A and B are shown apart, each in its own frame.
Chain A
Amino acid sequence: MDKSIYLRMRQRVQVLQHQKVTIGDVAQIVASDENERLVKGYIIHEVTPEDKHLIVIDVMRVFGTIQRKNLGVDIQTVGPAQTILEIQMKQKTMAPVYFVLVWLLLFTGSALAIMNFHEDVSMQLVHQKIYYMITGHFKEQPLLLQVPYSFGLGLGMILFFNHIFRKRLNEEPSPLEVEMFNYQQDLDQYVIVHENKETEKKINGN
Protein backbone atom coordinates (compact mmCIF):
# COMPACT_ATOMS: atom_id res chain seq x y z
CA MET A 1 0.00 0.00 0.00
CA ASP A 2 2.92 2.22 0.86
CA LYS A 3 4.20 1.85 -2.68
CA SER A 4 1.15 3.28 -4.41
CA ILE A 5 1.08 6.75 -5.93
CA TYR A 6 -2.20 8.31 -6.94
CA LEU A 7 -1.91 10.87 -9.65
CA ARG A 8 -4.35 13.23 -11.31
CA MET A 9 -3.28 15.47 -14.18
CA ARG A 10 -4.43 19.08 -13.99
CA GLN A 11 -6.47 20.49 -16.86
CA ARG A 12 -4.53 23.68 -17.60
CA VAL A 13 -1.40 25.05 -16.00
CA GLN A 14 0.13 28.46 -16.60
CA VAL A 15 3.92 28.50 -16.76
CA LEU A 16 6.57 31.11 -17.40
CA GLN A 17 9.34 31.18 -19.97
CA HIS A 18 12.41 29.15 -18.88
CA GLN A 19 10.51 27.68 -15.95
CA LYS A 20 11.49 24.16 -14.87
CA VAL A 21 8.12 22.45 -14.72
CA THR A 22 7.91 19.76 -12.04
CA ILE A 23 5.49 16.88 -11.71
CA GLY A 24 3.96 18.68 -8.75
CA ASP A 25 3.06 21.53 -11.12
CA VAL A 26 1.23 19.40 -13.65
CA ALA A 27 -0.44 16.84 -11.39
CA GLN A 28 -1.99 16.35 -8.01
CA ILE A 29 -0.23 13.57 -6.13
CA VAL A 30 -1.25 11.46 -3.19
CA ALA A 31 1.33 9.06 -1.79
CA SER A 32 3.32 8.39 1.35
CA ASP A 33 4.97 11.61 2.56
CA GLU A 34 8.43 10.62 1.43
CA ASN A 35 7.35 9.55 -2.07
CA GLU A 36 5.07 12.53 -2.51
CA ARG A 37 7.85 14.96 -1.75
CA LEU A 38 10.25 13.18 -4.09
CA VAL A 39 7.86 12.78 -7.00
CA LYS A 40 6.54 16.33 -6.83
CA GLY A 41 10.07 17.64 -7.21
CA TYR A 42 10.96 15.76 -10.41
CA ILE A 43 11.41 18.05 -13.39
CA ILE A 44 9.39 16.93 -16.36
CA HIS A 45 9.90 19.76 -18.79
CA GLU A 46 11.88 22.92 -19.15
CA VAL A 47 10.14 25.66 -21.07
CA THR A 48 12.17 27.02 -23.98
CA PRO A 49 11.29 29.71 -26.53
CA GLU A 50 10.88 26.98 -29.18
CA ASP A 51 7.84 25.68 -27.35
CA LYS A 52 5.75 28.52 -28.75
CA HIS A 53 2.53 29.00 -26.87
CA LEU A 54 1.15 25.67 -25.72
CA ILE A 55 2.71 22.39 -24.63
CA VAL A 56 0.86 19.16 -23.94
CA ILE A 57 2.32 16.91 -21.24
CA ASP A 58 0.98 13.39 -21.57
CA VAL A 59 0.55 11.20 -18.53
CA MET A 60 2.86 8.69 -20.20
CA ARG A 61 5.71 11.18 -19.90
CA VAL A 62 5.03 11.49 -16.21
CA PHE A 63 5.16 7.70 -15.93
CA GLY A 64 8.44 7.69 -17.80
CA THR A 65 9.99 10.30 -15.55
CA ILE A 66 8.96 8.50 -12.38
CA GLN A 67 9.96 5.09 -13.76
CA ARG A 68 13.46 6.29 -14.55
CA LYS A 69 14.07 7.16 -10.90
CA ASN A 70 13.56 3.50 -9.95
CA LEU A 71 11.43 4.13 -6.91
CA GLY A 72 9.70 0.83 -7.40
CA VAL A 73 6.30 2.42 -6.95
CA ASP A 74 2.94 1.57 -8.40
CA ILE A 75 1.26 4.54 -10.13
CA GLN A 76 -2.50 4.88 -10.33
CA THR A 77 -4.00 7.64 -12.45
CA VAL A 78 -7.36 9.29 -12.15
CA GLY A 79 -8.97 11.85 -14.44
CA PRO A 80 -7.58 13.48 -17.60
CA ALA A 81 -4.66 11.88 -19.39
CA GLN A 82 -2.81 15.09 -20.17
CA THR A 83 -2.12 18.60 -19.02
CA ILE A 84 -1.95 21.66 -21.20
CA LEU A 85 0.84 24.05 -20.31
CA GLU A 86 0.07 27.58 -21.29
CA ILE A 87 3.16 29.74 -21.53
CA GLN A 88 2.48 33.23 -20.22
CA MET A 89 4.01 35.76 -22.52
CA LYS A 90 4.75 39.22 -21.26
CA GLN A 91 1.35 40.85 -21.05
CA LYS A 92 0.92 42.88 -24.16
CA THR A 93 -0.81 46.08 -23.19
CA MET A 94 -3.46 46.73 -25.77
CA ALA A 95 -3.06 49.98 -27.62
CA PRO A 96 -6.05 52.24 -26.92
CA VAL A 97 -6.25 53.05 -30.63
CA TYR A 98 -6.68 49.38 -31.42
CA PHE A 99 -9.36 49.05 -28.78
CA VAL A 100 -11.28 52.09 -30.03
CA LEU A 101 -11.12 50.76 -33.59
CA VAL A 102 -12.56 47.37 -32.63
CA TRP A 103 -15.21 49.08 -30.54
CA LEU A 104 -16.27 51.37 -33.38
CA LEU A 105 -16.30 48.46 -35.79
CA LEU A 106 -18.69 46.49 -33.61
CA PHE A 107 -20.79 49.56 -32.90
CA THR A 108 -21.23 50.47 -36.55
CA GLY A 109 -21.69 46.87 -37.57
CA SER A 110 -24.48 46.16 -35.15
CA ALA A 111 -26.20 49.46 -36.00
CA LEU A 112 -26.12 48.49 -39.67
CA ALA A 113 -27.30 44.96 -38.90
CA ILE A 114 -30.35 46.12 -36.97
CA MET A 115 -31.30 48.58 -39.73
CA ASN A 116 -31.00 45.84 -42.31
CA PHE A 117 -33.13 43.60 -40.14
CA HIS A 118 -35.83 46.26 -39.83
CA GLU A 119 -35.91 46.83 -43.56
CA ASP A 120 -35.89 43.11 -44.19
CA VAL A 121 -38.98 42.38 -42.12
CA SER A 122 -40.76 45.66 -43.02
CA MET A 123 -40.70 46.72 -39.40
CA GLN A 124 -42.01 50.20 -40.24
CA LEU A 125 -45.22 48.73 -41.69
CA VAL A 126 -45.60 46.42 -38.71
CA HIS A 127 -45.21 49.32 -36.30
CA GLN A 128 -47.75 51.43 -38.20
CA LYS A 129 -50.09 48.46 -38.05
CA ILE A 130 -49.59 47.99 -34.31
CA TYR A 131 -50.23 51.69 -33.79
CA TYR A 132 -53.45 51.37 -35.75
CA MET A 133 -54.51 48.18 -33.96
CA ILE A 134 -54.13 49.70 -30.53
CA THR A 135 -55.35 53.28 -31.06
CA GLY A 136 -57.58 53.04 -34.10
CA HIS A 137 -55.72 55.85 -35.87
CA PHE A 138 -53.14 55.63 -38.60
CA LYS A 139 -49.83 57.37 -38.09
CA GLU A 140 -47.05 57.61 -40.63
CA GLN A 141 -44.28 57.66 -38.03
CA PRO A 142 -45.36 55.96 -34.77
CA LEU A 143 -42.41 57.24 -32.71
CA LEU A 144 -44.30 56.68 -29.47
CA LEU A 145 -43.91 52.98 -30.17
CA GLN A 146 -40.55 53.06 -31.86
CA VAL A 147 -38.43 54.97 -29.36
CA PRO A 148 -39.24 52.65 -26.41
CA TYR A 149 -38.79 49.76 -28.82
CA SER A 150 -35.26 50.91 -29.61
CA PHE A 151 -34.28 51.11 -25.94
CA GLY A 152 -35.96 47.79 -25.23
CA LEU A 153 -33.74 46.28 -27.90
CA GLY A 154 -30.63 47.08 -25.91
CA LEU A 155 -32.23 46.11 -22.63
CA GLY A 156 -33.23 42.72 -24.04
CA MET A 157 -29.67 41.92 -25.09
CA ILE A 158 -28.31 42.90 -21.69
CA LEU A 159 -31.00 40.84 -19.98
CA PHE A 160 -30.19 37.81 -22.07
CA PHE A 161 -26.53 37.95 -21.17
CA ASN A 162 -27.38 39.10 -17.64
CA HIS A 163 -24.32 41.23 -17.16
CA ILE A 164 -25.70 44.03 -15.08
CA PHE A 165 -28.20 42.45 -12.72
CA ARG A 166 -25.90 39.53 -11.96
CA LYS A 167 -25.95 39.87 -8.19
CA ARG A 168 -29.60 40.68 -7.89
CA LEU A 169 -31.20 38.17 -10.21
CA ASN A 170 -29.21 35.00 -9.66
CA GLU A 171 -25.76 33.49 -9.70
CA GLU A 172 -26.10 30.90 -12.39
CA PRO A 173 -23.57 31.34 -15.21
CA SER A 174 -24.89 33.39 -18.11
CA PRO A 175 -25.18 31.78 -21.56
CA LEU A 176 -22.15 33.78 -22.61
CA GLU A 177 -19.99 32.33 -19.85
CA VAL A 178 -21.15 28.81 -20.69
CA GLU A 179 -20.41 29.52 -24.34
CA MET A 180 -16.91 30.81 -23.51
CA PHE A 181 -16.31 27.68 -21.44
CA ASN A 182 -17.46 25.37 -24.23
CA TYR A 183 -15.31 27.17 -26.74
CA GLN A 184 -12.28 26.84 -24.47
CA GLN A 185 -12.98 23.12 -24.05
CA ASP A 186 -13.14 22.64 -27.80
CA LEU A 187 -9.83 24.48 -28.21
CA ASP A 188 -8.25 22.36 -25.47
CA GLN A 189 -9.49 19.17 -27.12
CA TYR A 190 -7.98 20.27 -30.43
CA VAL A 191 -4.67 21.14 -28.81
CA ILE A 192 -4.54 17.85 -26.92
CA VAL A 193 -4.81 15.87 -30.13
CA HIS A 194 -2.75 18.07 -32.44
CA GLU A 195 0.07 19.30 -30.20
CA ASN A 196 0.68 15.90 -28.67
CA LYS A 197 2.92 14.05 -31.10
CA GLU A 198 2.41 10.72 -29.35
CA THR A 199 -1.30 10.50 -30.07
CA GLU A 200 -0.93 10.35 -33.82
CA LYS A 201 1.10 7.91 -35.85
CA LYS A 202 1.47 8.54 -39.55
CA ILE A 203 2.69 6.15 -42.22
CA ASN A 204 5.54 8.25 -43.56
CA GLY A 205 7.01 8.65 -40.14
CA ASN A 206 6.45 12.36 -39.68
Chain B
Amino acid sequence: MGIKVLLIAFIGFGGGITVGSGLVALITVLGIVPRLMQLSKTYSFIRSYELSIIFGAVIGGWMNLRNASLAFPALILVPIGLLAGIFVGMLAAALTEVLNVLPILAKRVGFGEKIIFILMAIVLGKITGSLFHWMYYINH
Protein backbone atom coordinates (compact mmCIF):
# COMPACT_ATOMS: atom_id res chain seq x y z
CA MET B 1 0.00 0.00 0.00
CA GLY B 2 2.66 2.43 1.12
CA ILE B 3 4.88 1.63 -1.82
CA LYS B 4 1.96 2.08 -4.22
CA VAL B 5 1.21 5.52 -2.85
CA LEU B 6 4.85 6.49 -3.06
CA LEU B 7 5.09 5.23 -6.62
CA ILE B 8 1.96 7.09 -7.72
CA ALA B 9 3.14 10.27 -6.06
CA PHE B 10 6.52 9.90 -7.72
CA ILE B 11 4.97 9.39 -11.16
CA GLY B 12 2.65 12.35 -10.68
CA PHE B 13 5.48 14.56 -9.51
CA GLY B 14 7.65 13.54 -12.46
CA GLY B 15 4.84 14.20 -14.92
CA GLY B 16 4.22 17.59 -13.33
CA ILE B 17 7.87 18.59 -13.65
CA THR B 18 7.92 17.62 -17.32
CA VAL B 19 4.71 19.42 -18.20
CA GLY B 20 5.66 22.49 -16.17
CA SER B 21 9.07 22.87 -17.79
CA GLY B 22 7.47 22.25 -21.16
CA LEU B 23 5.04 25.12 -20.59
CA VAL B 24 7.81 27.47 -19.51
CA ALA B 25 9.95 26.42 -22.48
CA LEU B 26 7.09 27.14 -24.87
CA ILE B 27 6.43 30.58 -23.43
CA THR B 28 10.16 31.35 -23.46
CA VAL B 29 10.73 30.23 -27.04
CA LEU B 30 7.87 32.33 -28.33
CA GLY B 31 9.13 35.40 -26.50
CA ILE B 32 5.77 36.72 -25.38
CA VAL B 33 6.94 37.94 -21.97
CA PRO B 34 9.90 39.95 -23.33
CA ARG B 35 7.58 41.45 -25.93
CA LEU B 36 5.07 42.49 -23.25
CA MET B 37 7.83 43.98 -21.13
CA GLN B 38 9.14 45.85 -24.15
CA LEU B 39 5.70 47.27 -24.85
CA SER B 40 5.03 48.31 -21.29
CA LYS B 41 8.64 49.23 -20.43
CA THR B 42 8.56 47.19 -17.24
CA TYR B 43 11.75 45.16 -17.54
CA SER B 44 12.40 45.46 -13.81
CA PHE B 45 9.30 43.41 -12.91
CA ILE B 46 10.51 40.24 -14.61
CA ARG B 47 10.47 38.30 -11.32
CA SER B 48 6.82 39.16 -10.68
CA TYR B 49 5.94 38.09 -14.20
CA GLU B 50 7.60 34.75 -13.58
CA LEU B 51 5.55 34.38 -10.43
CA SER B 52 2.33 35.29 -12.21
CA ILE B 53 2.94 32.58 -14.82
CA ILE B 54 3.70 30.03 -12.11
CA PHE B 55 0.66 30.96 -10.01
CA GLY B 56 -1.58 30.96 -13.06
CA ALA B 57 -0.42 27.50 -14.09
CA VAL B 58 -0.60 26.01 -10.58
CA ILE B 59 -3.99 27.49 -9.62
CA GLY B 60 -5.52 26.74 -13.03
CA GLY B 61 -4.19 23.19 -12.98
CA TRP B 62 -5.30 22.58 -9.42
CA MET B 63 -8.83 23.91 -9.92
CA ASN B 64 -9.14 21.96 -13.14
CA LEU B 65 -8.09 18.68 -11.56
CA ARG B 66 -10.11 19.14 -8.37
CA ASN B 67 -13.20 20.29 -10.23
CA ALA B 68 -13.29 23.23 -7.87
CA SER B 69 -15.58 26.14 -8.55
CA LEU B 70 -16.07 29.69 -7.30
CA ALA B 71 -19.31 31.63 -7.18
CA PHE B 72 -18.62 34.85 -9.07
CA PRO B 73 -21.27 36.57 -11.21
CA ALA B 74 -21.05 35.55 -14.84
CA LEU B 75 -20.11 39.05 -16.02
CA ILE B 76 -16.59 38.64 -14.64
CA LEU B 77 -16.02 36.23 -17.52
CA VAL B 78 -15.92 39.13 -19.97
CA PRO B 79 -12.50 40.46 -18.86
CA ILE B 80 -11.25 36.91 -18.36
CA GLY B 81 -12.28 35.98 -21.89
CA LEU B 82 -10.66 39.10 -23.28
CA LEU B 83 -7.37 38.42 -21.48
CA ALA B 84 -7.38 34.77 -22.54
CA GLY B 85 -8.01 35.87 -26.12
CA ILE B 86 -5.17 38.39 -26.07
CA PHE B 87 -2.80 35.74 -24.79
CA VAL B 88 -3.78 33.21 -27.43
CA GLY B 89 -3.61 35.95 -30.07
CA MET B 90 -0.07 36.82 -29.03
CA LEU B 91 0.76 33.12 -29.09
CA ALA B 92 -0.54 32.85 -32.65
CA ALA B 93 1.30 36.02 -33.71
CA ALA B 94 4.54 34.79 -32.17
CA LEU B 95 4.15 31.46 -33.92
CA THR B 96 3.60 33.17 -37.28
CA GLU B 97 6.71 35.21 -36.62
CA VAL B 98 8.87 32.21 -35.74
CA LEU B 99 7.87 30.60 -39.03
CA ASN B 100 8.83 33.78 -40.88
CA VAL B 101 5.57 33.71 -42.81
CA LEU B 102 4.80 37.39 -43.14
CA PRO B 103 8.11 38.75 -44.53
CA ILE B 104 8.25 36.06 -47.20
CA LEU B 105 4.60 36.45 -48.09
CA ALA B 106 4.86 40.23 -48.29
CA LYS B 107 7.83 39.95 -50.64
CA ARG B 108 6.30 37.24 -52.81
CA VAL B 109 2.99 38.97 -53.45
CA GLY B 110 4.73 42.31 -53.81
CA PHE B 111 3.25 44.51 -51.14
CA GLY B 112 6.19 44.94 -48.85
CA GLU B 113 5.11 48.40 -47.80
CA LYS B 114 1.52 47.43 -47.21
CA ILE B 115 2.26 44.59 -44.82
CA ILE B 116 -0.36 46.09 -42.51
CA PHE B 117 -3.03 44.88 -44.95
CA ILE B 118 -1.70 41.35 -44.73
CA LEU B 119 -1.71 41.62 -40.97
CA MET B 120 -5.27 42.96 -40.91
CA ALA B 121 -6.46 40.12 -43.17
CA ILE B 122 -5.05 37.59 -40.74
CA VAL B 123 -6.34 39.41 -37.65
CA LEU B 124 -9.88 39.85 -39.00
CA GLY B 125 -9.83 36.27 -40.25
CA LYS B 126 -8.96 35.06 -36.76
CA ILE B 127 -11.73 37.09 -35.13
CA THR B 128 -14.34 36.04 -37.68
CA GLY B 129 -13.26 32.41 -37.60
CA SER B 130 -13.39 32.33 -33.84
CA LEU B 131 -16.82 34.00 -33.61
CA PHE B 132 -18.15 31.74 -36.32
CA HIS B 133 -16.84 28.72 -34.46
CA TRP B 134 -18.49 29.60 -31.14
CA MET B 135 -21.78 30.98 -32.42
CA TYR B 136 -22.58 28.74 -35.37
CA TYR B 137 -20.22 25.83 -35.98
CA ILE B 138 -20.58 24.39 -32.47
CA ASN B 139 -24.37 24.06 -32.87
CA HIS B 140 -24.32 22.26 -36.20
Contacts and interface: CB of A to CB of B under 8 A. Distances in A.
The judgment on whether A and B are partners is: yes
A161 B93 contact: yes
Given A163-B119, A179-B103, A148 B71 contact: no
A157 B100 contact: no
B82 A148 contact: yes
Nearest to A181: B103
Interface stretch (A11-19, A51-59, A110-118, A191-199): A110-118
Contacts of B91: 156
A41 interface: no
A149 interface: yes
Interface residues of A, number: 61
B55 interface: no
B93 A157 contact: yes
A157 B92 contact: yes
Contacts of A144: 74-75, 77-78, 81
24 contacts: A94-B111, A106-B118, A106-B125, A107-B125, A110-B129, A111-B126, A113-B126, A114-B126, A114-B129, A131-B77, A133-B64, A135-B74, A141-B138, A145-B80, A146-B134, A149-B85, A152-B82, A154-B89, A156-B93, A157-B122, A160-B89, A175-B97, A176-B102, A183-B107
Interface of A: 92, 94, 98-99, 102-104, 106-115, 117-118, 124, 129-137, 141-163, 169-170, 172, 175-176, 179-180, 183-184
Interface of B: 31-32, 35, 38-41, 63-64, 68-94, 97, 100, 102-107, 109-112, 115-119, 121-135, 137-139
